Amino acid sequence: MTPTEAADSIKQTCDEISKATLKLQPSIRALGNPAAQEELLKATYELTKNLETVKKIVRKSLTGTTTPLT
């Protein structure tokens, strides 16, 4: 596997996980427990945010960019 293929695989997997977390939203909202819902929504948001960070790191590793990830 080349670095480009590896990066594409990582990006695709992150996208799949991100889409899967969106599918959780209706179930989370149907729980009927506002405290649990709030925590779960925060956790899925953080997960999505972290997946975007992973994709940024992969992009920067391919371009050789050494600037901060912000």
Task: Give the per-residue pLDDT at 63.
Answer: 86
Question: Six-digit token pair at 70?
Answer: 């912000």
Q: Please, are residues 44 and 24 in contact by the beta-carbon 8 Å criterion?
A: yes
One digit per residue, the tens of pLDDT, for the chain of length 70 reads 999 999 999 999 999 999 999 999 999 999 999 999 999 999 999 999 999 999 999 999 988 876 555 5
How many Cβ atoms sit within 10 Å of the Cβ of residue 14?
18
- The pTM of this model reads 0.78
How many Cβ atoms sit within 10 Å of the Cβ of residue 50?
12
Query: d(Cα 58, Cα 3) in Å, to the nearest integer?
Result: 10
68: left (phi over 0), alpha (psi -120 to 50) or beta: beta
Task: Give the per-residue pLDDT at 67.
Answer: 56
